Structure 1
């Protein structure tokens, strides 16, 4: 009788991150992103006080005010930083790229990144979504290596959120409101809210079926992903509007309506977010993994949570407590305050700093948490330092 070959182990051998241009302070944000209708945002200071982000990066040249990155070029730079040798890049057999808002609708983002890199033909896959698409990209590469279909995969997640947060995207809406004789033609809170929450960046990981011959690697033990879209309506959305809880897509609006309502902008239902984000993405998702895998909170040396705002830090902790899986704050690692919320790239940007700063030691276990409020999905991932 033939014996089934044992599935491959999967290792993250290297991590890289690219933060475009110099850090932008809270005081400088509106100078870079612009003022909508020539008015300063009244929500900005409240949102920044809540999210506790002190600096972030944008793919906008601070001298000229023009973009000096595309989403694809930002992703490609992260891959080139990950694998600077052209000969080694040529040995990669799978490229998985993710982003929430690509530079274009078609072709897909992954092949645009491949076009920037100009490495030899290989399998290219794109994943889309909001924050979760970075980890689904990683899971594709993980499964490809585990199944033996790939020996060396590169995963890259990138966001150029400033593309849809720049004031120029909202001027038509503002002018339309002036034409309607509204006394305060400000953009709606659900749009203005995210202008001060999101930022640009890219992170990449090299995965293989062997640990690095020198130095440390991170073994990917498992990745669990759950969607709750069967129960909850869309919370964070772009290229559409939400009417009576239902999404109405961009194609259902005229070109004038798309401009006058800033249809392309990223929007968030803040009330829906606050009511559901912890209960679904922390408590229910992690409880599922605990039951499925027999997890114990004391086994983890690091907790690496992606949360969009410092406002949620204590709420995540309370969610862990609610399912008897408390991980003390001294085991948490985040760089939200200095790198900002880079969406799908955030988990890679956090892991890159933690991995490359030299604090990890063999045998330590990391639990990573990646939620998204798009229509409420969540992921947990376990890594072991080897």
Structure 2
């Protein structure tokens, strides 16, 4: 088995940063009215700015695959190898641009990469880690020489008024429920990509050795928590959007909206922390040896909940070691861990031997993932 290194990272954030005050100018006013609880949600999530792939008329400036392709291109621009050397692509997203074909096919086409093996991953936040683990194992096993793993989200298109108004008219409601409003004011657009190689170049200034990736689903214990495609998350009552008489009927019944079950979300936290403790107990994670902790979370309030539980376990990683960019770029879902790694890469703050622990929980139906990286810094050859 070969060692695997992240040798380059790239990101793409569409357009200029959008402030809290300007959000609805891009997302649109539902039935022409400002949100009644948007400001409260923003206080909870702590996000100050984000990026949208839409302009103020609601017209897309990029597709989801184009954003991923831009992140792939930036990664290659920062690497020491060409497109011709890449022989594997894995791509992740919550929802691709098309129902068919797979997301990786579209990214492959737009990126102009040569013929190669590809893999598409569709989940929520953890899909980015699924894609990365697939690329990691392919290189580690010697199946591939160099792999690109990318993740991209185009969440804002879910939040245009047309995704809600037909349902509100049909149900007689005047305002969205909190389970739909929260995501509308929290999720945003962006993409990230990482280059994985087994051959660490002598003149590489910084690489990240990928030590391991651990991912586990607990869907056997929970109903869907963050969901779309059904009006209910009760597995016993689920009617898929495609089984309605038409897409319009599915929309009118609320089966297209993206929603979050908050009660279920909070019940997942002990499961995520319990999985973390199991990794500590079996020696995979040593909290005192972590130099940078990159946790994904969707809101500042959820971060505080996470801190409280970790402090109770006695296995808390000090907050001064936490590295997160939620406040500046918003919640980019599956791309968030890529964009954190990319920013840490650019910061030039890493020292040889620094240990980086990444944490990506997913509320879709309870998935938890961890990844450990070790910084390898070398002096550039003369």
Aligned residue in 1 for 2:199: 210
Instruction: Describe the superposition over 1:185-213 as per-residue Cα deviations: whole angstroms up to 9, x where unpaired.
Output: 22222112210010000000000002343
RMSD, aligned CA: 1.6
Q: Would you say 1:340 and 2:333 are equivalent positions?
A: no
Asked whether the 8 Å contact 2:251–2:257 carries over to 1, the reply is: no
Alpha carbons of 1:186 and 1:254: their partners in 2 closer, same or farther (altered >3 Å)?
Answer: farther
Partner residue of 1:266 out of 245, 258, 263: 258
Q: Would you say 1:311 and 2:304 are equivalent positions?
A: no
Alpha carbons of 1:168 and 1:356: their partners in 2 closer, same or farther (altered >3 Å)?
Answer: same
Asked whether the 8 Å contact 1:224–1:289 carries over to 2, the reply is: no
Q: Would you say 1:112 and 2:101 are equivalent positions?
A: no
Distance across 2 between alignment mates of 1:197 and 1:294: 32
Instruction: Describe the superposition over 1:63-89 as per-residue Cα deviations: whole angstroms up to 9, x where unpaired.
Output: x54111100111111111111389701
Q: Would you say 1:33 and 2:27 are equivalent positions?
A: yes
Instruction: Describe the superposition over 1:223-276 as per-residue Cα deviations: whole angstroms up to 9, x where unpaired.
Output: 111111111111111112226454331122222421213422211101111222
Aligned residue in 1 for 2:380: none
Distance across 2 between alignment mates of 1:260 and 1:224: 40
Asked whether the 8 Å contact 1:36–1:174 carries over to 2, the reply is: no
Q: Secondary structure at the match of 2:135?
A: helix
Distance across 2 between alignment mates of 1:293 and 1:125: 31
Partner residue of 2:220 out of 230, 243, 246: 230
Q: Secondary structure at the match of 2:10?
A: strand
Partner residue of 1:133 out of 110, 127, 135: 127
Q: Secondary structure at the match of 1:374?
A: coil
What TM-score, normalized by structure 1, do the two folds share? Answer: 0.93
Q: Secondary structure at the match of 1:359?
A: coil
Aligned residue in 1 for 2:178: 189
Could you list the runs of 5+ residues in structure 1 that have no partner in the other structure? 1-6
Distance across 2 between alignment mates of 1:287 and 1:248: 37
Partner residue of 1:168 out of 157, 162, 177: 162
Aligned residues: 372
Mapping of residues 265-284 of structure 1, within 5 Å? 265-276=257-268, 278-281=269-272, 283-284=273-274
Could you list the runs of 5+ residues in structure 2 that have no partner in the other structure? 377-382
Partner residue of 1:77 out of 32, 54, 70: 70
The more displaced of 23-32 and 313-322 is 313-322
Aligned residue in 1 for 2:87: 93
Mapping of residues 134-153 of structure 1, within 5 Å? 134-153=128-147
Q: Which runs of 4+ in 1 moved over 3 A?
A: 84-87, 243-247
Alpha carbons of 1:360 and 1:233: their partners in 2 closer, same or farther (altered >3 Å)?
Answer: same
CA apart distance, 1:117: 1.3
Asked whether the 8 Å contact 1:190–1:267 carries over to 2, the reply is: yes
Q: Would you say 1:123 and 2:113 are equivalent positions?
A: no
Distance across 2 between alignment mates of 1:365 and 1:243: 39
